[in-house]
Amino acid sequence: MPRVGIVIAMLCLPPTPATGDPPPRVRSTDAAMITLLREGERRSKTFGDLLEAIGRSNGIVYVEFGVCAFGHLDGCLLPFIESTHGERYLRVIVTGDKTRRGHDRLLALIAHELQHAIEVLEHPEVVDQASMDSMYRRLGIPLTGRQGYETSGAHRVEDAVLRELSRS
């Protein structure tokens, strides 16, 4: 889909209702994902902090189920960012395959990917794919044998959320 088509498609998606839902800057078109976002916020302080940080940003993050990197990754922040009217739009994809991980691990994976979204949103100079790639070349560790980057911050968040979930 051309870049303009991505922006138009994202702008046409309905926002998540505000009452009892995650902050309106974290959205999904999937009811099951919205339920997971609510649960993560309720059961994990770190997860809730991620949602609040995105809520204070100029970003809108769509979180959806899907497949990343031809099925080689369980989750990803897509390397596309669009900026319009001062807002930056990002898309997180997570694989909903329950045979590969437990429920709490799925919540931790979502948190991991939300941390990647925050990493981008904390850098106002990141407004397109080229500037996102440049930022991750500076801050991240290249994935072995694949395109993309990983960060220690996302791993720390994932571990913290798993610890909190195991206590709840």
pLDDT at 1: 44
Q: Taking a C-beta distance cutoff of 8 angstroms, is the pair 100, 90 a contact?
A: no
Neighbours of 75 (CB within 10 A): 23
CATH number at residue 62: 3.40.390
DSSP letter, residue 20: T
pLDDT at 10: 44
| Length reported for the chain | 168
DSSP letter, residue 1: -
What's the domain range around 96? Answer: 3-167
Side chain identity at 13, as an amino acid letter?
A: L
pLDDT at 21: 55
pLDDT at 4: 44
For each of the chain's 168 residues, which pLDDT tens digit applies?
444 444 434 444 444 444 455 448 999 999 999 999 999 999 999 999 999 999 999 999 999 999 987 677 889 999 888 888 889 999 999 998 666 678 999 999 999 999 999 999 999 999 999 999 999 999 999 888 777 899 999 999 999 999 999 997
What residues form DSSP beta bridges with 93?
64, 76
Residues 6+ apart with CB under 8 A from 17: none
pLDDT at 92: 97
C-alpha 146/C-alpha 149 separation (Å) is: 9
C-alpha 20/C-alpha 123 separation (Å) is: 29
Domains of the chain: total = 1
Task: Please tell me the pTM assigned to this model.
Answer: 0.84
